[in-house]
Amino acid sequence: MSTFVLIHGAWHGKWCWQNVVPLLSAAGHKVVAIDLPGLGDDQTAIADVTLSGYGKAVEQVVRAQSEPVVLVGHSMGGMAITQAAEYAPERIAALVYLAAFLPANGEPLVHWARQCEGAELVTQVADDGLTATVDPNVALRAFYADVAPETARDAIRRLRPQALAPFATPVETTPERFGAVPRHYIECLRDRALPVAVQRLMVAAQPCQSVQTLDTSHSPFLSAPEDLARALLNIVA
């Protein structure tokens, strides 16, 4: 049996995994979901939120487990798990990128976000220089296009302002550490936030041991939790 550590994306919190955790647990696995600094229920001040802080928060949880973990990152969470893998490669059995940013050394999230020209989210995020916010109607179309309406409304109410600093900060990785950890990708065909074409460009630049496809938009943990759990279980089978 494996230990899964689940990392959410921008604006979200560990709550987004609530339908996936019991499915993985029912299959006999240990599951840990966390809030990144400044998101979910975490009270870190926005001014103190950094990409390295994300990586260290994930590293702390990874090191607290009794065995090397399967570390799953969604969307912006891909930046966090990438940095964490540089910090603690020996504690990570596999990295799983779920419709996530998969950066090379020296690349910030914005490097790949610029490739998403025309995507719903990129064109309509508002920022005040310190945080970014998403209009509820944009969030509905970009994140939750195939999510049940009541579930989508509840998710939108839980979104928090996203610190901009982690978007602009390059990851710092090496082949000997991050590069030694097996990588897997789960792409989402109908993604309006991070289009599948861009997901595939990242995988082409940073090849993964496996690629699975979900016929969903950006948030399969809410729209198709059973399919997502099955994809994650395939990786550890």
- 3-state SS of 109-152? HHHHHHHHCCCHHHHCEEECCCEEEECHHHHHHHHCCCCCHHHH
Residue 191 is among the residues annotated as catalytic for this protein:
yes
CB 9, CB 72: distance < 8 Å = no
Using DSSP's 3-state secondary structure scheme, residue 145 falls into coil
CB 23, CB 225: distance < 8 Å = yes
Distance CA 231, CA 211 (A): 10
> Among 30, 77, 27, which residue's Cα sits nearest to residue 57?
77
Find the catalytic residue in 12, 184, 191, 219: 191
CB 189, CB 216: distance < 8 Å = yes
Provide the CA 132 distance to its chain's centre, in angstroms: 17
Start-to-end CA span in the chain (Å): 9
Token duo for residue 143: 């994140």
Find the catalytic residue in 12, 74, 75, 184: 75
> Among 189, 235, 191, which residue's Cα sits nearest to residue 215?
189
Rounded (10°) CA dihedral 114, 127, 133, 5: 60
Distance CA 51, CA 60 (A): 14
Provide the CA 31 distance to its chain's centre, in angstroms: 16
Find the catalytic residue in 12, 74, 184, 218: 218
Q: What positions carry a catalytic annotation?
A: 75, 191, 218
